C-alpha cells in the first residue's frame, strides 16, 4: 500500500465549493501518511507542518481535525483499511485457504518492512496507549476467519482458531518489529520464517 495522491499545492484558506472540502480532507490525510512514515512517531507530527506541506493555512486543518490525535487516528484507520483491501485481493488470487493465509501474512510482513515508520505508529506509538483504535477489531477478526477457513478445509489440525490466529499474529508482529528495530541483525528471509510459523503454529504443510 502506497500513498500516491499528491499533496495540494498553493491551496488557500477559504470556503471550498461542494466536494472540495472532502478532497482537502483526503489531501491532509495523505500528507500525514507520508510524514508519519518518515517520522515513525505520532507525537513528532505537527498540524502546522502538515498544513505547510499541503499548502494551506493551519486553521484549515482544524476545520477537519480537532487535534493531532484525531488526524493520526484518521490516517491510521485509512492505512488499516488499505492493508485489508490489499489482503483481500491477495486472498482472492490464492489457490486455497492455506495459500490465502500465507498470502495475507506475507503481504503484511512485506508492507511493514517497506513502511517501517507507519508500522511503528500503527502498533508501537504512544497513541496506542492513549486511544482505543476500534477499527483494529475488524482487522483482528479477519485473521481468525482466515485461520478458521484452513481448519474447515481440513488443511490444518483441528484447534482453536482464535487462539491460533493470536499466536500467529504475535509471531509475525514480533518478527517484523525485530527486523525494524534491530535492523543490524542478519535475520533470515521473512518468507522462510513465515513458513515455519504457519507450519508450527497453524499446522499447515510446509510449501513444496
Taking only the tens place, the pLDDT of each residue in 120-149 is: 999 999 898 888 888 899 999 999 999 999
Instruction: Report the pLDDT value the prediction gives residue 74, as an integer from 0 to 100.
Output: 96
CA angle 154, 158, 160 (to 5 degrees): 130
* pLDDT of amino acid 4: 35
E strand intervals along the chain: none
Show the low-confidence residues of the chain (pLDDT under 50). Answer: 1-15, 17-18
Domains observed in the chain: 79-202 (1.10.357)
Q: What pLDDT was estimated at residue 65?
A: 96
Q: pLDDT digits over 176-205, tens only?
A: 999 999 988 999 999 999 999 999 999 999
Contacts of 28 (CB under 8 A, 6+ apart): 50, 51, 54, 61, 64, 65, 71
Can you give the pLDDT at residue 52? 96
Residue 41 class from Cβ within 10 Å (0-12 exposed, 13-18 middle, 19+ buried)? middle
pLDDT of residue 19: 59
Give the distance between the most distant pair of CA atoms in the chain. 61
Q: Which pTM value belongs to this model?
A: 0.85
pLDDT recorded at residue 131: 83
* pLDDT for res 8: 42
Asked if residue 187 lies in contact with residue 178, where contact means CB atoms within 8 angstroms, the answer is yes
Residues contacting residue 194 through CB under 8 Å, at least 6 positions apart: 102, 105, 106, 109, 172, 175
pLDDT of residue 129: 83
Amino acid at each position: 500500500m502506497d500513498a500516491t495522491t499528491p499533496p495540494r499545492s498553493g491551496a488557500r484558506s477559504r470556503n471550498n465549493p461542494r466536494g472540495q472540502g472532502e478532497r482537502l480532507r483526503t489531501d491532509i490525510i495523505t500528507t500525514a501518511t507520508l510524514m508519519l512514515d518518515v517520522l515513525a512517531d505520532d507525537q513528532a507530527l505537527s498540524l502546522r507542518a502538515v498544513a505547510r506541506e499541503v499548502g494551506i493555512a493551519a486553521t484549515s486543518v482544524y476545520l477537519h481535525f480537532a487535534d493531532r490525535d484525531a488526524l493520526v487516528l484518521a490516517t491510521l484507520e485509512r492505512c488499516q483499511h488499505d492493508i485489508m483491501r490489499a489482503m483481500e485481493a491477495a486472498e482472492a488470487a490464492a489457490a486455497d485457504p492455506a495459500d490465502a493465509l500465507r498470502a495475507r501474512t506475507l503481504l503484511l510482513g512485506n508492507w511493514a518492512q517497506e513502511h517501517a515508520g507507519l508500522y511503528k505508529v500503527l502498533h508501537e506509538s504512544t497513541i496506542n496507549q492513549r486511544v482505543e483504535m476500534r477499527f483494529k477489531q475488524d482487522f483482528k477478526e479477519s485473521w481468525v476467519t482466515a485461520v478458521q477457513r484452513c481448519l474447515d478445509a481440513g488443511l490444518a489440525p483441528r484447534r482453536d482458531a482464535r487462539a491460533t490466529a493470536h499466536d500467529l499474529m504475535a509471531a509475525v508482529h514480533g518478527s517484523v518489529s525485530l527486523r525494524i528495530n534491530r535492523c543490524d541483525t542478519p535475520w533470515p528471509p521473512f518468507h522462510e520464517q513465515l513458513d515455519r510459523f504457519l507450519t508450527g503454529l497453524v499446522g499447515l504443510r510446509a510449501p513444496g
